[in-house]
Amino acid sequence: MSKREITVLTDVSMITCIVQRGIADKIVAAVQEAGATGATIYYARGEGVRERLGILALAVEAEKEVIIVAVADDQADHIFERMYIAGELDTPGMGFIYMTKLDKAATHIPTEVLEKIDSGEIQTIY
């Protein structure tokens, strides 16, 4: 049996964005334009004070979309801002976004890419 190796990435952050249903595709398009390789979207149901929001009396729907993106730390702030703007999160009731530093992440990385990292040709890969 051949030995399997794990390449551990340590300069990775995870951005999680929770938005009203129907908004995720717009946010993922902005993420990809900003340089991220992809995103995971799943559906959720929110609970809590959602009947009325502030003076505007906006109804906040319980159905949510959750977008998760893993990005290199040097791209994280830029992609976070792009997601915030694309999701119009500065509007009451539109959603919530947060970023978490990951201790470790791992995925398949082609040998050619690993060789370029070792030679210093490229700095970040994710």
- pTM summary value: 0.79
| 113 occurs within a structural domain | no
- Domain range for 87: 11-104
Establish if 119 belongs to a structural domain. no
Residue 4 domain-assigned?
A: no
Reported confidence tier of residue 126, pLDDT bands at 50, 70, 90: very low
Q: For residue 3, is it within any domain?
A: no
Please check whether residue 124 lies inside any domain of the structure: no
Does residue 64 form part of some domain? Answer: yes
Q: How many domains does the chain have?
A: 1
Asked, for residue 118, whether it belongs to a domain, the answer is no
Going by pLDDT thresholds of 50, 70 and 90, the confidence category of residue 57 is low
What would the DSSP string read from start to end of 80-112? HHHHHHHTTTTSTTSEEEEEEEES-EE----HH
CATH of the domain at 62: 3.30.70.120
